[in-house]
Amino acid sequence: MHHFQYQNDQMYCEDLPIQQIAQEVGTPFYLYSHATLKRHFNAFYNAFDGVDRLVCYSAKANTNQAILNLFAQLGGGLDIVSGGELYRGLQAGFEPDKIVYSGVGKRVDEIDYALKSGILMFNIESLEELEIINQRASHFNTVAPVAIRVNPDVDPKTHPYISTGLKKNKFGIDIVSALLGYKAARKLDHIEIKGVDCHIGSQITDVQPFKDTLASLKNLIDELREIGISIRYLDMGGGLGITYDDETPPAPDEYAQSIIQSLKGSSLKLILEPGRVIVGNAGILVAQVLYTKIGETKNFVITDVGMNDLMRPALYDAFHAIKPVTQTQDTAIVADIVGPICETSDFMARDRKIARVYRGDLLAVMSAGAYSFTMSSNYCSRPKCAEVMVKGDRFHVIRKRQAVEDLCAGESVPGFLDER
């Protein structure tokens, strides 16, 4: 359940009509429900009741400071993949020792920043990275806590662009090489082995790939124990999917039980990195219809939301339900719902059945809380849109809309252009 519901044909976010917010804020804008965010985080955390665990929200799903701050207040940790996400997380109030750093391409300055900050651990993605982190820890006369990200060669049965656990993917180290990596790490003076890490993909709608992954990781942990390497943390990553269209992903309770049962009798502390499952259905994108084109063979609804605002349909051909903010009894049409960008891939939906809409009408693009604003850009010199959070009958602009003046920030014209 989420808190975007109709009352008297008007869509509300919690106790506020979305039409009212649009009149005050303008369009387009992302809209998040505080109640949904809080409930989803708590539901995920409580699903693992009785297990020693740390829920590290995956920052890349949505990095707005208000959302990060909420999860920090709820006692969560943070999964990051860049120095920028580390900065955002610290600014939002996360404790450094609840932050895990993943990602295949950590720069030296980012490694240094994380070492100085005192994060919980680095999830190592290559043996060369392990060497570099050891060198940087030596430079600061400290010890770097690490886990090795294992690639278990498990098919998560998701979109190939968001599959990360197969041998052909760039992420992690295969099981055999990981064992060698742990042996090498044990010999490094400035490395402390803390855990084993794995993340097999995103938008996964079946628990079996998680079970298969856990079986591989347990075997590795047993082998490590036999050679005297003790593991404290098991980082299972994230990836649990949500319903966009007709998917039937497992509920957090079902997902949790599949993991808990496999870990019975273990003293490992579990790290979980949910992102989409917490924020995905907690947000929508509100668009305004600019024009309609009703043709002999094709209809178009042209809105003020472009692929620069919502990249997922163009990038993954991803499905988002699209609903009118004001329900009517008008006859439905089939149309492409598109934006103003000069690309044929600039669409939110193609050949979608939708109630007949007119210039000025508002549309709600559902399930837009994850991998939406974080992937937005200024393509075609379009300012990034606003973000809004609702709590009860109040709303707050948690990111103001970019002004056109902001588009040129940081740019300069060199003097040599005036030379003759």
Digit-coded pLDDT (tens) for 199-223: 776 677 677 777 777 888 888 888 9
User: Residue ranges of the domains in the chain?
Assistant: 34-277
- pLDDT by residue (tens digit) across 238-290? 878 888 888 888 888 988 888 888 888 788 999 999 999 999 999 999 999 99
- What is 34-277's CATH topology? TIM Barrel (3.20.20)
Q: Does pTM top 0.85 for this prediction?
A: yes
Tell me the pLDDT tens digit for each residue of 320-365: 999 999 999 888 999 999 999 999 999 999 999 999 999 999 999 9
Above 60 in pLDDT, residue 169? no
pLDDT tens string 58-94: 999 999 999 999 999 999 999 999 999 999 999 999 9
Contact 363, 28 (CB under 8 A): no
**With contact defined as beta carbons under 8 Å apart, do 383 and 309 qualify?**
no
Q: How open is the CA angle 121-123-124, to the nearest 5 degrees? A: 125
DSSP character for 375?
G
The three-state secondary structure class of 242 is coil
pLDDT value for 209: 77
| E strands in 86-160 | 99-101, 121-124, 144-151
Strand 77-80 vs strand 53-58: parallel, antiparallel, or unpaired?
parallel
pLDDT number for residue 258: 83
DSSP state of 153: -
The two tokens of residue 200 are 């097999």
CA distance 387 to 283: 10
**Residue whose entry in the numeric block shows the structure tokens 């993917």:** 169
Query: Which 3 state secondary structure label does DSSP give 347?
Result: strand
Q: Is 385 a catalytic residue?
A: no
Q: How does DSSP classify residue 344?
A: T
Facing residues of 324 across strands?
Answer: 363
Q: How high is the pLDDT of residue 156?
A: 46
* Average pLDDT of the segment spanning 157-179: 58
- Selecting among 13, 56, 198, 342, the annotated active-site residue is 342
- Does the pLDDT value for residue 155 go beyond 60? no
**Rg from Cα positions in the chain:** 23
Whole-number average pLDDT of the chain: 91
> For residue 340, what are the CA distances in angstroms to 290, 322, 343?
9, 17, 9
What's the chain's length in residues?
420
H/E element holding 294?
A: strand 283-294
